[in-house]
Structure 1
Amino acid sequence: MKFVFGKPTDEPFDRETEISILTSMISRNQPTAVIGVRRIGKTSIILKTIKNIERPKIYINAEEFVEGKSFDLISFLSYYSSLIIAEAIKFLEPKKKFSFMLKQRGEEAINALRELLGYVKLSFNINLVSIELFINRKSGNSKDSIRELLNLPQEIAEKIGKDYLIVIDEFQFLKLAEQNLPGLFHLMRGKWQFHKNVEYVVSGSSIGMLERLFSSKNESFYQFFFPIYINPFSREVSLNFLKEGFKDEGISYEEDSLNYVIKELDGIPAWLNYFGLKSLECKVVNETCVKKVLNDMIVDPIITAIVRDEYNKLSKNAKKVIKFLAEKGGRGSLRGIPLGRSSINEGVRKLINDGYIRREERGVYSIIDPLIAKILRVI
């Protein structure tokens, strides 16, 4: 096992239980939500799970379509539709490649996109040849067009005789699209719940928001998704992770020093990987090495840029709340914070929804990621 930072892997460490559960849910066509804080390895678990599933499948990350505080629904639906068509083609018998049925459904999808989106480009591959379809602007009924597009995977699945798998990562960002298209989630739920040949898996890091979407009677996806929670590594798993990583890298270590790292990074896989990579500069991972690397991580330009970027996206009140908690060591009450009650409530609600803090007891909150707490004290 090699330490890797900054990109998902389809061979995540010690996630067999989560992978087994997700595989089981997919096999029974149970809509599933994979939920966990940032940098916990959700995407890696999903990639490993779908890697060995032999059925048409697409993966799309909704965060890629966020523009400031809005969502580019046009590009999302264009990409979503092109992936569905391209993946279906792979599973047709050679003599049936781009059969009349699929050609017809592709044309219908394009017409729906034309009505909804205006001028877009839809790209997919047929027998390794790239096809690009340019659609001219035309007005139409957006909700009717979306209904047509949402039915596309089910209708194609029926025709090609294969169950479909749709994975939408960072699903919570689609909520932004409802600002311009109210009722989007209602349309999605209305179609998805009757798709017998399509399995939907979503994931996200905005824990509080997703829990509300899935558990509130007022929300469209009430009691629709089965949740799988991805937790940080336990102390034992974190220790084994570091030991195996250093063993494969040929680096000696002192176990007591590794225990100190585990306490400081609290089982967040991304930070454990980064620590492992930075420690390769040490001849031996001992107390001196560990303290230097951990101190360096707090001011590391890559890590601080990540934290600063996320911090800057928070609301004014959320910034003040999380900064106040960071200055108290990452945990405590909000007594003494220079905010009014309504502002405190708004900030706390935002941070819980986005998965940055948790309520430990009445009036006491903690920052989930200990490294973020340390960095916010110095930026």
Structure 2
Amino acid sequence: MESSINEFFRENRNLWEEIKPELKNIAGLRVLSLGVSFSWKGEKTDLIALFRELEKYDVVLAFDEVQYLRGPVGSEFAGLIAHLYDYSNLRIVMTGSEVGLLHDYLGVDDPKAPLYGRYFHEVTLSRFTGEQSRDFLIQGFEQVGLAPPEDLIETAVERLGGIVGWLVLFGRNAMEKGLSEKLIDDVFEEANALAMDEFENFLSKRSSARKRYLEIMRAVASGRNTWEEIKEYLERKEGKSVADSVLARLLKALVDSSFLEKVKEGRNVYYHIPDPILEACFKEK
């Protein structure tokens, strides 16, 4: 937060000169020549007072990957946001790539959570359709003066599955390495490593169930995508029964972290891996 606020002040020097005298009155905040320094020990920086001062200038507070806030710091931060919600007119944007965990943090269904009951407007960013992916790439390449052949665009759209991050990676690699026949294979290989690194990060916090998470992903990637099929696959791999409550907990964690997507078709429920890169990782293993 300190770094972001100082970057904001550097980009808005007129505002900095105007607000600087008022910042000197905030407890735990040291005013520098162009920026501020927070104190986290002793007399801690009064973040509420700082944000209320910024409120006068119609700023928007934006916090990314909020679902990673945990423990005492996460609870304290949620309390801060709840206070600002109740006693200020600040506009606050909270984003996260793991929707279920973000909902858990916001306390959507938890009356004991600091932010429970506050109104918020939710914007869900879905994967691009094929047409949107195509337009995204074409317009992006036009802006940097590149004109890839149509078949290369079509192959990228088909293999990268509308995941914006992978489309951006494809565009960046095209700019840096030039257009070639092996461009998409290189992007796929790099994206493969990134996707598995993210999944490994997920597993590192759940080491006791690591093997089960891996087997569930392999089951879904191989087409065993109903509850019964996943359960049968897992039990066959382990050679013993798996309680329904245990499987429910494992699937919920994967869905909450956006590694799996739960799809309902009438009375039928299916699971699938929304990221084609990650799905390919488990098909190969």
For the criterion TM > 0.5, the same-fold answer is: yes
What does residue range 358-369 of structure 1 map to in structure 2 within 5 Å? Answer: 358-361=261-264, 362-369=268-275
Residue 263 (1) aligns with residue 158 (2): yes
Residue in structure 1 matched with residue 167 of structure 2 by the alignment: 272
Identity within the alignment, %: 20
Residue 196 of structure 2: which of 286, 308, 332 is its match?
Answer: 308
Give the AA of the match of 2:61. Answer: I
Residue in structure 1 matched with residue 219 of structure 2 by the alignment: 324
Residue 334 (1) aligns with residue 240 (2): no
Q: Is the 8 A contact 1:358 1:366 kept in 2?
A: yes
- The structural deviation recorded for 1:204 is 0.5
Q: Is the 8 A contact 2:260 2:271 kept in 1?
A: yes
In 1: Cα distance, 2:231 partner to 2:149 partner: 43
Q: Is the 8 A contact 2:159 2:276 kept in 1?
A: yes
Count of residue pairs brought into register by the alignment: 260
Q: Is the 8 A contact 1:168 1:202 kept in 2?
A: yes
In 2: Cα distance, 1:353 partner to 1:370 partner: 18
Residue 149 (1) aligns with residue 37 (2): no
Residue in structure 2 matched with residue 199 of structure 1 by the alignment: 91
More helix by share: 2
Question: What 5-or-longer segments of structure 1 have no aligned partner?
Answer: 1-59, 61-78, 111-121, 284-288
Residue 115 of structure 2: which of 217, 221, 228 is its match?
Answer: 221
- The structural deviation recorded for 1:97 is 6.2
TM-score (norm 1): 0.57
- The structural deviation recorded for 1:245 is 4.4
Residue 374 (1) aligns with residue 280 (2): yes
Residue in structure 2 matched with residue 98 of structure 1 by the alignment: 20
In 1: Cα distance, 2:3 partner to 2:173 partner: 38
Residue in structure 1 matched with residue 103 of structure 2 by the alignment: 211
Q: Is the 8 A contact 1:109 1:149 kept in 2?
A: no
The residue matched to 1:304 in structure 2 has which SS? helix
In 1: Cα distance, 2:97 partner to 2:132 partner: 22
Q: Is the 8 A contact 2:9 2:16 kept in 1?
A: no
Residue 351 (1) aligns with residue 254 (2): yes
Q: Is the 8 A contact 2:263 2:271 kept in 1?
A: yes
Render the CA deviation track for 1:192-244: whole Å, top value 9, x for unaligned: 22243421111101111223435314233234321111122221121223334
- The structural deviation recorded for 1:367 is 0.6
Give the AA of the match of 2:246. Answer: S
Give the AA of the match of 1:216. Answer: D
Q: Is the 8 A contact 2:79 2:115 kept in 1?
A: no
The residue matched to 1:356 in structure 2 has which SS? coil
More strand by share: 1
- The structural deviation recorded for 1:345 is 1.7
Higher relative contact order (CA 8 A, sep 6+): 1
Residue in structure 2 matched with residue 109 of structure 1 by the alignment: 28
Residue in structure 1 matched with residue 133 of structure 2 by the alignment: 238
Q: Is the 8 A contact 1:264 1:370 kept in 2?
A: yes
The residue matched to 1:193 in structure 2 has which SS? helix
